Amino acid sequence: MDEKKLSIRNLSVSFLQGNSKVTAVDDVSFDMNNGKILGMIGESGCGKSTLGLSIMNLLPEKTSSIDKGEIFFNGKDLSKLKENELQKIRGNNISMIFQEPMTSLNPLFKIGRQIGEPLKIHKNIKGQELKDKVIELLKDVHIPNPEKIYNAYPHNLSGGMRQRVMIAMALSCEPEIIIADEPTTALDVTIQSQILYLLKQLNEKRNTSILFITHDLSVVAEICDEVVVLYGGKIVEKADVNDIFDNAKHPYTIGLLESQPHMGQVGKSLPSINGMVPKLDEMPKGCRFSTRCSKKFCSKCTDLEPPLFIINEKHMAACWLYEKEVDKSE
């Protein structure tokens, strides 16, 4: 049986929008298992990054709030901890790799200093020992000439090299969990492949659990063990990666898969999902995907929000299509 590394229960997160409050993550529950890579997919605006930031409690303090729910890590509810308690966990037990390293790295400080900062704070490593450890980390993420890069500034490096630096920083204190928020989006295909290989290698070598947030299904297929599909701030499907690609159930997941290019599909136009993700303050009643769904079949779809129906032991989908299937199996 898989050991749960992180458990999120009924998490809801809202933002202030003008004078009103809108829900960005709505009653979300899932587990991250030890040593596994969990992919979180969905279009932009579905709540993926918000969810990742809420785990680390890095949401904008004045404009957002965790309204309800629990985020359990090692028996502690992170959502209830004080800031000084969270600081002991961030970068130490749980680290984050952000989408755009150029906005995450400080342009005024050298690379060596920035990678070494978590080690100074959490491990009290200093002096030559600190420098040696940072250079070792640079080697671990396959950065050439690590001694030279140690003294470089972020603007001296390419996008791929900066992302490797972010990964080195995230790994510095050997965290139990890494949250990777679209870490390959801004990279070309070759560099993307290298970063994915690196993350997979580190996952296998150190048994690090990774939450991999992305909208790229090909990336999910390459490195993830389990998948959660988000739409409109809610989970609409979750399953093992093979089940998602071979036996997807929710119309949204099926639409995402069908819109991906495939080998031998030369000259054929790709199908797409009609419309766009609704704005947070314009979510439809009932199933949130109902306004874009090609399989909408009854008034329930537009009137009632579907729960997550159990397809099998590790597969769930929030679609009224599977209500009867569940009834038959009971």
* Dihedral sign computed on CA atoms, order 199, 200, 202, 206: positive
**Residue 305: per-residue pLDDT:** 94
pLDDT, average across residues 181-202: 83
Rg of the chain on CA atoms, in Å: 21
Tell me which of 330 and 297 has the higher pLDDT.
297
Strand pairing category for 37-41 and 309-312: unpaired
The residue ranking higher by pLDDT, 174 or 330, is 174
| Per-residue pLDDT, 265 | 60
Q: What's the whole-number mean pLDDT along residues 182-192?
A: 80
Tell me: pLDDT of 188 over 90: no
**Mean pLDDT for the chain?**
90
Average pLDDT on 75-102 reads 91
Query: Rounded distance, CA 244 to CA 246, Å?
Result: 6
Give the C-alpha separation, 203 to 197, whole Å. Answer: 10
| Residue 43 identity (one-letter amino acid) | E
DSSP class of 90: B
State the DSSP string of 12-43: EEEEEETTEEEEEEEEEEEEEETT-EEEEE--
Residue 239 pLDDT > 80, yes or no? yes
Model pLDDT for residues 284-325, shown as the tens digit of each residue: 999 999 999 988 777 889 999 999 999 998 999 999 999 865
pLDDT, residue 227, reads: 97
- 201 falls in which pLDDT band (50, 70, 90)? confident
CB of 6 closer than 8 Å to CB of 72: yes
Please give the CATH number for the structural domain made up of 4-93+176-261.
3.40.50.300
